[in-house]
Amino acid sequence: MVALRKSETINLRIDAGTRDVIARAAEISGKSLTAFMTEAAFATAQKELLDQRFIGVDATVFDAVEDLLGEPAQVNEKLSALLKSNREWLD
């Protein structure tokens, strides 16, 4: 496997206590401080991005939404009129 050359740098300032905790965790896991911080930041970033895409709900809420989606659509006269109106700003 070819190792990717790392060319980007991130600088941050943290207090000594925080650095010591991170350094101890990196050492225990057998990783360099850079590798440990990169993996932790990457995992946290992925989770945050996924949290923006998926909304977890309990079974009751899911079933209620699913039932509503299964019902026939209702005509909304005001919405229909709006969609049929002349939209000069689109031209």
Q: What is the pLDDT of residue 57?
A: 92
Per-position pLDDT tens, the chain of length 91:
566 788 899 999 999 999 999 999 999 999 999 999 999 999 999 999 988 877 889 999 999 999 999 999 899 999 999 988 887 777 6
- Residues 6 or more apart in contact with residue 39 via CB below 8 angstroms: 31
Task: Read off the pTM.
Answer: 0.54
Q: Considering the chain, what is the average pLDDT of its residues? A: 91
Length of the chain: 91
Q: Are 24 and 37 in contact (CB under 8 A)?
A: no
